[in-house]
Amino acid sequence: MLFEQQSEYFCVCILNKGNYFNHLLNFFLNSTQLQSSRAPSGGWRSLRNKQQCQNQSKTQKNEVEAEDQEKEIKEMAPRASCQTMCPAQELWNRESQNRLHCFEVVPGTESFRKPKGDPLRAVKEYSRPAAGKDVTKPSYLRPPDVLLKTVCYLIDEIAGSTSLHPWTEVYSFVFDRLRSVKQDMIIQRLSGKDCVAILELTVRFHIYASYRLCGEPLRIYDPRINDTHLQEYLNWLFDCYKTGTGPYPNQEEFQTLGLLYNLGSSPATQDVLELPERLRQTPSLKLALAINQAFLEGNHVHLLRLVQKLDFLQTCALHRHLVTCRRHLLLIYSHGYHSRNCRFPLDRLAQLLSLEPSLTAELCQVYGIEVNQHNQVLFSKSAFTEPEQGELNCKLYHSIGASRLSPRDRGKWIPTSP
């Protein structure tokens, strides 16, 4: 019908040659209007809905492909079959080569030329990957439950023992064996709640070690190496929190520890701010955010007051920033109370620094600040000096954490085996 009307109209235009171009223009305009009037209403809306459906189908397809890829990766991961903390072949090799640690031998055989290894105490040691060495053999890999059992043994029986000493040797042993656990986890592409449980125990150990071994000689303890491994464990743990299904009852605790350990760090702050509202409003995270804000604002007096509310392990995570806070506070007071006739009470300064008066006097002397015989501090901006390397022993000023170390607090970093 439309075609017949258009044909008749075109013939009339040919007969009327004078108005040919005007009629031709009107012909095309009328045709366009006629077609648009017959177009179904809501065309753009239907097109948009169609595009949304296509996008949703693509998203679902990508999710299915990601799940399939994850299943393929898990299927490709080596199967672990070792049911002991140390593979039998490794235990035999190290025993024959006299490479067993004193914590791994049968009691009473330490004086033997080749001490006998105890299968219940020996733990697989860390070894670097080498050419021709197959690290994926099932008999050398420990499954997740054995790895968790191994970590619990290292924390409860070795790191938490009061009879094993020196603690630097304990740290060296546990540190190496935890690296071996991490190696097995990576080879098996471990994830899920077992992975989270292992990482949480490991993070507790490294945070406590950073506090207890602070100030030790570098040949015994290197804080940078401990920090590198701790940061890797924290990032891995937080990634498990984000990608896992949960629930994770200890997430609040470790998000708090991560922020306190990385005080003033933009990535650490952003990670906490991106958490769900229910987590951000928990008491420990609100306190950690307040401490972080005080640190960024340079309000060190307020920060040291808030630190009094932390528990022992949280103080261990924060302690490495306390030296900087106290130094800045003394520097500010050296300028603010710079006067010949000004005398600042030592007890009041000790309260602000959260230290004993004797330790406060020692700290003032380290920075060149005079303390007279009447326990009065004489601040002077010209007398303030930076201590020489090795002169400031951070471990002497651990009074905040040491005062809270009790059997009840020990359980917060050395949890019982699940």
Strand partners, 386: none
Strand-strand pairing, 344-345 and 370-371: unpaired
> 20-58 burial by CB neighbour count: b if 16+ within 10 A, else e?
eeebeeeeeeeeeeeeeeeeeeeeeeeeeeeeeeeeeee
Candidates 25, 29, 1, 30; CA nearest to 13 is 25
CA distance 366 to 385: 8
For 90, the enclosing helix (H) or strand (E) is helix 88-96
**Contacts for 134 with CB less than 8 Å, ≥ 6 apart:** none
Phi, psi of 254 (to 5 degrees): -80, -30
Strand partners, 323: none
Q: What is the pLDDT at residue 67? A: 55
CA distance 278 to 63: 27
Instruction: Please report which residue ranges of 188-275 form alpha helices under DSSP H.
Output: 193-212, 223-243, 251-261, 266-273
CA distance 262 to 162: 30
Q: What is the pLDDT at residue 213? A: 93
Q: What is the pLDDT at residue 2? A: 42
Q: Pull the structure tokens for residue 220.
A: 């015994």
- The one-letter code for the residue type at 406 is S
Q: Tokens 């005398």 — which residue? A: 343
- Tens digits of per-residue pLDDT, 225-279? 999 999 999 999 999 999 988 789 999 999 999 999 999 999 999 999 999 999 9
Q: What is the pLDDT at residue 239? A: 95
Express as a percent the part of the chain with pLDDT over 90. 64
Residue 111: other Cβ atoms inside 10 A: 6
- Please give the DSSP secondary-structure letter assigned to residue 367: T
Please give the model's pTM, rounded to 2 decimal places.
Answer: 0.78
Q: What is the pLDDT at residue 202? A: 97
Q: Please list the pLDDT of the chain residue by residue as tens digits (418 residues).
A: 444 444 444 444 444 444 544 555 455 445 545 444 444 445 555 666 666 666 666 656 555 554 555 555 555 678 888 999 999 999 999 999 999 999 999 999 988 889 999 999 999 999 987 756 777 889 999 999 999 999 999 999 999 998 888 999 999 999 999 999 999 999 999 988 999 999 999 999 999 999 999 989 889 999 999 999 999 999 999 999 999 887 899 999 999 999 999 999 999 999 999 999 999 999 999 999 999 999 999 999 999 999 999 999 999 999 999 999 999 999 999 999 998 889 999 999 999 998 999 999 999 999 999 999 999 999 999 999 998 876 777 777 776 655 444 433 444 455 433 3
Are the beta carbons of 154 and 174 closer than 8 angstroms?
yes
